[in-house]
Amino acid sequence: MNNLFADRMNNVHKSFIREILKVTENPEIISFAGGLPNPDSFPVKEVQEAVTNVLTSNGEEILQYSTTEGYQPLREYIASRYKKNGLKVHPDQVLITNGSQQGIDLTGKIFLNKDDNVLVESPTYLAAIQSFGLMEARFKSVPLLEDGADLDAVKRSLDENRIKLFYSVTNFQNPTGITYSQKKREMLADILKDRDTIFVEDNPYGEIRFLGEDIPPVKKYLDSGVLFGSFSKIVSPGMRLGWIVAPDEVMEKLVTAKQASDLHSNYFTQRVVYQYLTDNDVDKHIEKIKAMYRDQRNLMVEMIEEYFPEDVKITRPEGGMFLWVTLPEDLSSLKLFDLAIKENVAFVPGKAFYTDDMGDNTLRLNFSNSSADKIEEGIKRLGSVIGSLMNQKRHK
Amino acid sequence: MNNLFADRMNNVHKSFIREILKVTENPEIISFAGGLPNPDSFPVKEVQEAVTNVLTSNGEEILQYSTTEGYQPLREYIASRYKKNGLKVHPDQVLITNGSQQGIDLTGKIFLNKDDNVLVESPTYLAAIQSFGLMEARFKSVPLLEDGADLDAVKRSLDENRIKLFYSVTNFQNPTGITYSQKKREMLADILKDRDTIFVEDNPYGEIRFLGEDIPPVKKYLDSGVLFGSFSKIVSPGMRLGWIVAPDEVMEKLVTAKQASDLHSNYFTQRVVYQYLTDNDVDKHIEKIKAMYRDQRNLMVEMIEEYFPEDVKITRPEGGMFLWVTLPEDLSSLKLFDLAIKENVAFVPGKAFYTDDMGDNTLRLNFSNSSADKIEEGIKRLGSVIGSLMNQKRHK
């Protein structure tokens, strides 16, 4: 049967992370490998109230089929929430999706022919590599600096290649935690303005800024941009509810592709989430999440400063759920992983996030899903494993 | 920007049905155009109880991310429900999807290269044409007879073309209401047995048989088959919950494609539906739906027999939600549609369901979503409009 599968399946393999997560199911293991929100932040009681509310008032309607675009009041809510970023969004430019992951799928479907070039940050979000890979795209990459992509490299890549689409996670990137500066956003918009390249801005973590000031999305400076958002990090990831903001002509194609993909997103959940959003003080809820993650991030950074060898470098994210570790160049995080698992501590080796086979000396740590105890103990163990790996190297 | 869209978008247009449904939003119109279940059949109270139950006992877990394959007890439930069809399904061969529509999307993704041939019934499910079209498939078609596809034509098409995939709706097909006979299922399995053609069996209506005896899916006789199912017609379509049953090696690719598409299906809803299924007598609930649809179907057939001109032919479905009307060959259902709308009655012209530009004299009627009053009045009006169209023809 193997000869029957489509060529595109050769470009995509089961996620390495998924395989790692299986290893870490052992409850003995302190895992910084996953990408899970802190479940203590989930508004269980409020969701329950929202369900009761919508089922009691409109039960039969909310269990029925609905429109491909999504529940209109929810689209309006999303559109108007962008006002605080100075972004003008019309509700008709919002498509409800199954998490922002489906944004990647639909965008790939409507824009990418086989062998089209997609520009990504190096490193980039793993499931974007998988999803664009399914559309048989080729990847070009640009280095990610402390304040966003290397814009000279972006310009060079756009000049040298026909780039159909530039995929970027501008806030608290997965995997690095890096955020584009205000200046870089404006410069990037300027670079992209008159080019035939679609800018796809994935922003699932944007609301979770626990340090510094909010910065508007690049789309504010670039009308043609396609922007993704998600309720996964502010309400519930299990509900798989996100959205795409796109110009009218793109929206039309997205709706067609969405319809062919799954008709529409879960309407029951759309109604529940909308009810939750209108009945509760969402900003207060988000403040609670931010406070949690700020503490978790601060503790992890503090422990790393205490327990990691000096020449190990880390990012210091101002939001989101991840930080990024760069080991000395001659160390392999894959080797480190094997040693760490023996000490019952896990992370994701960085290589998986690169399209260009780089990053063997990098790794991703998640701080949002571990208690203070586990962060302390896990980082201590990890520091000692890194130390022994460095010693091994030195003695060879 | 138009030059930036992928070639595949040229193969897919916004659903004609969707445009029709907009016309029929006018509450004055009696619409047989949609494909909606009867909302009176939705278990609103029971869903409410299931939500309370799962949120109270496991709130934080059910709002979290989950596995791509789906909630294991739900997969087990689905697998074991096939026993009544004499079908042995292992839970690991069940992938939870967003309705059976996503089954089509994922199957297209893993099997279809550009220009691969897909065999379909003529007519076939519109959103399958759209979804396989997105994968740039070419369509071959075989006539649909009263007891299923014309198997001689199937054999001929398989001999003459390299057919990658045969897509079939074996029970109460959308749009025709036609069901494959027991004999045809076995013969079809025999024809396909040693060929390099994937048989994809879409079965969203299978549980809603209100006349005659259940017949096992073709997959019972053909291990290599891929089978879709759905909770849309037995619990709630708005929840977008369906599944794929597939052999292990196919399942592995499907999981990879699913992960790149949206990580996993709504976990909250999976838990709610599973709770609903275990706490309630589902078979009794399905009996209630069947009784409703049987009455609606019988009334529609009766009214058609009374009010439609004699040389109009219809199918007499034993389940599902649709019946199919064939006008005399020189009549156009598109013209009929314009006249019918003026009389405030709507249906779907049949042409949309053909890949080969046939069927201008056919149309689809939905009986599950109209009250007895509306069925009586709507069919009466439609009969009279058909009569006047025939008279116009005769006098030209």
Q: At A307, which amino acid appears?
A: Y
Chain A contact present for B68, CB below 8 A: yes
- For testing the chain A interface, which of B10, B131, B266, B272 should be mutated: the one with the most A CBs within 10 Å? B266
Cβ distance A263 to B130 less than 8 Å, yes or no, reads no
Cβ distance A236 to B63 less than 8 Å, yes or no, reads yes
Q: What is the residue-wise DSSP string for A312-354? A: -EE---SBSSEEEEE--TT--HHHHHHHHHHTTEE-EEGGGG-
Strand order in the sheet with A313-314: A313-314, A322-326, A362-366, A348-349
Q: How far apart are CA A148 and CA A171, in angstroms?
A: 9
Whether the pLDDT of residue A17 is over 80: the answer is no
Q: How far apart are CA B274 and CA A206, in angstroms?
A: 33
Cβ atoms within 10 Å of A143's Cβ, excluding its own: 13
Question: Which chain A residues contact residue B102 at CB under 8 A?
Answer: 261-262
Chain B contact present for A47, CB below 8 A: yes
Cβ distance A260 to B131 less than 8 Å, yes or no, reads yes
3-state secondary structure of B163: strand
Q: Is residue A317 reached through a cis peptide bond, with omega within 30 degrees of 0 on the bond before it? A: no
Q: Is the dihedral of CA A241, B243, B348, B352 positive or negative?
A: positive
The answer to whether B333 and B175 have CB atoms below 8 angstroms apart is no
Q: Comparing C-alpha atoms, which of B248, B233, B111, B242 is closest to residue B167? A: B111
Please indicate whether residue A114 or residue A3 has the higher confidence score (pLDDT): A114
Whether the pLDDT of residue A292 is over 70: the answer is yes
Residues 6+ apart with CB under 8 A from B215: B171, B179, B180, B181, B182, B185
The answer to whether B86 and A248 have CB atoms below 8 angstroms apart is no
Q: How far is A345 from chain B (nearest CA, A)?
A: 21
Q: What is the residue-wise DSSP string for A168-202? A: EE-SS-TTT-----HHHHHHHHHHHTTSS-EEEEE
The answer to whether A135 and A109 have CB atoms below 8 angstroms apart is yes
Q: How confident is the model at residue A13 (pLDDT cuts 50, 70, 90)?
A: confident
Question: Which chain B residues contact residue A255 at CB under 8 A?
Answer: 14
- Which region holds residue B240: left if phi is over 0, alpha if psi is between -120 and 50, else beta? left
Q: How far apart are CA A106 and CA B70, in angstroms?
A: 22
Question: Which chain B residues contact residue A2 at CB under 8 A?
Answer: 249
pLDDT at A311: 94
Question: Which chain A residues contact residue B257 at CB under 8 A?
Answer: 9, 12, 134
> Is this complex's ipTM strictly greater than 0.90?
yes
Q: How far apart are CA B285 and CA B283, in angstroms?
A: 5
- For testing the chain A interface, which of B14, B61, B65 should be mutated: the one with the most A CBs within 10 Å? B65
Q: What is the residue-wise DSSP string for A256-296? A: HHHHHHHSSS-HHHHHHHHHHHHHS-HHHHHHHHHHHHHHH
Residue of chain A whose Cα is closest to the Cα of B39: A60
Locate A166 and state its tokens: 């530039």
pLDDT at A23: 76
Query: pLDDT for A77-113, tens place per residue?
Result: 999 999 999 999 999 999 999 999 999 999 999 999 9
Q: How far apart are CA B265 and CA B258, in angstroms?
A: 9
Question: Which chain B residues contact residue A114 at CB under 8 A?
Answer: 114
Q: What is the mean pLDDT of chain A?
A: 95
Cβ distance A269 to B264 less than 8 Å, yes or no, reads no
Chain Cα centroid distance, residue A249: 25
Q: What is the mean pLDDT of residues A238-246?
A: 97
Facing A268 at nearest CB: one of B13, B257, B269: B269
Question: Which chain A residues contact residue B111 at CB under 8 A?
Answer: 4-6
Locate A278 and state its tokens: 């209108």
Q: How far apart are CA A52 and CA A82, in angstroms?
A: 29
Residue of chain B whose Cα is closest to the Cα of A164: B4
Percent of chain B with pLDDT over 90: 91
pLDDT at B396: 65
Q: How far apart are CA A383 and CA A308, in angstroms?
A: 4
Q: How far is A48 from chain B (nearest CA, A)?
A: 7
Facing A12 at nearest CB: one of B47, B235, B256: B256
pLDDT at B27: 86
pLDDT at B14: 67
Please indicate whether residue B257 or residue A20 has the higher confidence score (pLDDT): B257
Q: What is the residue-wise DSSP string for A77-110? A: HHHHHGGGGT----GGGEEEESHHHHHHHHHHHH
- Which region holds residue B177: left if phi is over 0, alpha if psi is between -120 and 50, else beta? left
Q: What is the mean pLDDT of residues A105-125?
A: 98
Cβ distance A44 to B59 less than 8 Å, yes or no, reads yes
Scan residues 141-180 of A and list those with Cβ closer than 8 Å to B: 164
Angle between helices A182-192 and A151-160 (to 10 degrees): 10
Chain A contact present for B334, CB below 8 A: no
Query: pLDDT for A161-206, tens place per residue?
Result: 999 999 999 999 999 999 999 999 999 999 999 899 999 999 999 9
Cβ distance B44 to A60 less than 8 Å, yes or no, reads yes
Q: How far is B7 from chain A (nearest CA, A)?
A: 7
Q: Comparing C-alpha atoms, which of B176, B221, B179 is closest to residue B203? A: B179
Please indicate whether residue A259 or residue B27 has the higher confidence score (pLDDT): A259
Q: What domains can you pick out in chain B, each with its CATH number? A: 2-42+284-394 (3.90.1150.10), 64-279 (3.40.640.10)
Locate B369 and state its tokens: 């979503």
CB burial of A57-93 (b: ≥16 within 10 Å; e: otherwise) equals eebeebbbbbbbbbbeebbbbbbebbeebebebebeb
Segments of chain B scoring below 50 in pLDDT: none
Whether the pLDDT of residue A210 is over 70: the answer is yes
Scan residues 82-111 of B and list those with Cβ closer than 8 Å to A: 97-99, 101-102, 104-105, 109-111
- What pairs with residue B4 in β-bridges? none
Question: Which chain B residues contact residue A101 at CB under 8 A?
Answer: 260-263
pLDDT at A12: 79
Cβ distance A261 to B264 less than 8 Å, yes or no, reads no
3-state secondary structure of B211: coil
The answer to whether B35 and B366 have CB atoms below 8 angstroms apart is yes
Chain B contact present for A58, CB below 8 A: no
Facing A263 at nearest CB: one of B99, B236, B260: B99
Question: Which chain A residues contact residue B247 at CB under 8 A?
Answer: 1
Chain B contact present for A282, CB below 8 A: no
Q: How far is A309 from chain B (nearest CA, A)?
A: 34
pLDDT at A26: 84
Residue of chain A whose Cα is closest to the Cα of B231: A63
Query: pLDDT for A125-147, tens place per residue?
Result: 999 999 999 999 999 999 999 99
pLDDT at A396: 65
- For testing the chain B interface, which of A1, A2, A3, A4 should be mutated: the one with the most B CBs within 10 Å? A4
**Vertex A238: Cα angle to A237 and A239 (nearest 5):** 90
Query: pLDDT for B233-247, tens place per residue?
Result: 999 999 999 999 999
Percent of chain A with pLDDT over 70: 99
Question: Which chain A residues contact residue B51 at CB under 8 A?
Answer: 48, 51-52, 55
Chain A contact present for B122, CB below 8 A: no
Q: Are strands B345-346 and A322-326 parallel, antiparallel or unpaired?
A: unpaired
